[in-house]
Amino acid sequence: MALFRTRSAALFGIHAQLIDVEVDMYPAGAARDFVTVGMPDTAVRESRERIKSALANSGFGYPNKSVTINLAPANVRKEGAGFDLPMALGILGAMGAVGPSDGHLLAGELSLDGGLRPVRGALSMAVCARKAGIRNLVVPAENAAEAAVAEGVKVYGLRRLTEVVEFLREPERFRAEEAGAGAARERVEAETPDFGDVRGQASAKRALMVAAAGSHNVLMIGPPGSGKTMLARRLAGILPKLSFTEALETTQVHSVAGLLGPGTGLLAGRPFRAPHHSISDAGLLGGGAGTPRPGEVSLAHNGVLFLDELPEFPRNVLEQLRQPLEEGAVTLARSSMTLEFPSRFMLVGAMNPCPCGYYGDTGRECRCTGAVIQRYLGKVSGPLLDRIDLHVEVPAVAYQELRGRDRGQGSAEMRERVEGARARQEARGYYNAHIPSTALRQLCALDEAGERTLEMAVRRMGLSARAHDRVLKVARTIADLDGGGAVGAKHVAEAVQYRSLDRSYWS
């Protein structure tokens, strides 16, 4: 009887859990059995056929014995083909072909010829290895760059099963992957579209700069072709650069979702996600069969979630945005587990004012009746509107502006002002959109004129308590853009202006 153990990791949310892969080999009876226990899913159970072919085609052969593989702990579900490599090496270890692999964490899918294919969540596995005190991580070459982002672990990206065996025998012949994301950051910034390309829409550009400065949610309303999508796609370009902590967490989410391209290391740019309005609630918030995976709200973590044609999204899907907008996280509860995915994003919505798109447009006649317009607008509920800080009208662009030579503010100038405002907020401990209610009075204190302006707005517009708080936060952001002084009447007045469209259209 031969018993051999290797180590791998299973994904749960954006985190990984250490898994012991125990291989026991014993004389075969009438038939050679290959049994995998420990709550494996279908992909793990099917690994026996990939492993047999990979071992044979790599020149190691396959033992004339029965094999039992235990994935411990046995009370958590194991998914995916990433266990192929540690299981194959466990069999080779039981055969005596390799020595102990203590100090190594292994993950990789095997092809039938013994090649290694990439897996999801390599960065999370590297973080898991570091926390467990495991010195070396062996993954497919395509996953090496992302895994190497985690400091404190040596990452080896290999291409074939035979290379892994050689590495375990003579590790000094191999060099660990080096992390580097500077070039990727420069490339992302160069490819980001510029606000200077947008003709006209000075007020909308101003509103988006305010939103970026305080990490506020924004809704744009205007006729077709007015530039709403064009404006939204440039928003990520004026947000501050990701800090290392933000970039690490964002990369983990995309790694777990399997969206990192081959050779991708640390994500440099803030994510911009624009799902189609036919998306399901599981696609937006996360879920799916087996272990839930992150949805669009988590893939937009630390970036922008753009919902174009907002009323076309199913209302039940939109209503589920309330939790992530308030808490910055999505909790997915299943009978066997509860997972939490981060989802601190900026929501940008865009919509027409009516089904035909021309309600209120002076240049085109609206064909919709009042009842049709109200039914259309009613697809976006009041509670959801309350969670959107800025409501911005984006009118059709005048011919003179469309043909003019004035580009207006470009992204570089806007980003400089945004970064200055965010630096002031970081010194206070919160971005303005995330100020807790307990600190609101202290951080958003108003002068006497500001108090009078806000009181008048609350009385005349009938603002809810949540809308009142959001006006204060937006006013604080506008003051930060002006240099960070006291919040005055002009700051409150501009913030109140960004809450007026819901009264114009939804009243």
The H or E element that residue 385 is part of is helix 382-386
Q: Are 317 and 230 members of one domain?
A: yes
Same domain? 266 vs 371: yes
Contacts 24+ apart (CB under 8 A), 361-366: 361/223, 361/395, 361/396, 363/396, 364/223
Packed helices 465-481 and 489-497: angle between N→C axes, nearest 10 degrees: 120
The pair of three-digit structure tokens given for residue 356, joined into one six-digit string: 């035909």
Taking CA atoms, 179 is separated from 118, 252, 308, in Å, by: 18, 15, 36
SS in 3 state form for 407-466? Answer: CCCCHHHHHHHHHHHHHHHHHHCCCHHHCCHHHHHHHCCECHHHHHHHHHHHHHHCCCHH
Secondary structure of 7-73 as H, E, C letters: EEEEEECCEEEEEEEEEEEEECCCCCCEEEECCECHHHHCHHHHHHHHHHHCCCCCCCEEEEEEEEC
Boundary-marking domain end, from 144, 173, 202: 173
Q: Which tokens belong to 149?
A: 């982002």
Q: Tell whether 470 is covered by a domain.
A: no
The verdict on residue 281 lying in a domain is yes
Looking at residue 153, what is its pLDDT? 93
* Cα angle value 481/484/486 (rounded, 5°): 120
Residue 311: what residue type? P
Whether 456 is covered by a domain: the verdict is no
Do 108 and 198 belong to one domain?
no
How far is 244 from 251, CA to CA, in rounded Å?
A: 10
| Residue 44 near residue 83 (C-beta atoms within 8 A) | yes
3-class secondary-structure state, position 121: coil
Residues 314, 355 within the same domain? yes
The dihedral formed by the CA atoms of 164, 166, 170 and 176, expressed in degrees to the nearest 10 = -40
Q: Are 156 and 191 within one domain?
A: no
And the tokens for 269? 């740019």
Residues 56 and 116 in one domain: yes
Phi-psi domain of 2 (left: phi exceeds 0; alpha: psi -120 through 50; beta: other): beta
* Residue 332 φ then ψ, to 5°: -110, 115
Question: Which run of H or of E encompasses 475?
Answer: helix 465-481
Q: Are residues 225 and 80 in the same domain?
A: no
Q: What's the number of domains the chain is made of?
A: 2
How far is it, in rounded angstroms, from Cα 309 to Cα 72? 47
Residue 478 lies in a domain: no
> CA angle, corner 17, sides to 14 and 21, nearest 5?
140
Cα–Cα distance for residue pair 242/235, rounded to 1 Å: 14
- What is the three-state SS of 284-303? HHEECCCCCEECHHHHCCCC
Residues 47 and 99 in one domain: yes
One domain for residues 287 and 426? yes
**Peptide bond preceding 86: is omega within 30 degrees of 0, i.e. cis?**
no
10-residue mean pLDDT series, the chain (507 residues):
86 92 82 85 91 94 90 90 94 90 92 95 94 94 91 93 94 84 46 82 92 95 91 93 90 91 83 94 84 91 95 92 90 80 95 90 87 91 89 85 75 93 92 90 88 88 84 94 87 90 67
Residue 497 lies in a domain: no
In whole angstroms, give the CA distance from residue 111 to residue 54: 7
The first and second tokens of residue 156, run together, are 């080896």
Q: How many CB atoms lie within 10 A of CB 450?
A: 23
CATH number at residue 306: 3.40.50.300
End position of a domain, from candidates 434, 460, 492: 434
Question: What pLDDT is attached to residue 434?
Answer: 92
- Predicted confidence at residue 185, as pLDDT, reads 46
At residue 503, the pLDDT reads: 66
210 and 99 co-located in one domain: no
293, part of any domain: yes
Decide which of 173, 205, 230 is a domain's last residue.
Answer: 173
CB count within 10 Å of CB 29 equals: 8
Spatial distance between the Cα atoms of 112 and 391, rounded to a whole number of angstroms: 56
In a domain, 242, yes or no: yes
Given a contact cutoff of 8 angstroms between Cβ atoms, the answer to whether 90 and 7 are in contact is no
Same domain flag for 126 and 219: no
376 in Cβ contact with 351 (< 8 Å): no
- How would you classify residue 462: left for phi > 0, otherwise alpha for psi between -120 and 50, otherwise beta? left
Say what the pLDDT of residue 32 is.
67
- Asked if residue 21 belongs to a domain, the reply is yes
Q: What is the CATH number of the domain that holds 139?
A: 3.30.230.10
Task: Give residue 207's domain range.
Answer: 186-434
* DSSP summary character for residue 241: P
The pLDDT of residue 191 is 66
Residues 147, 205 within the same domain: no
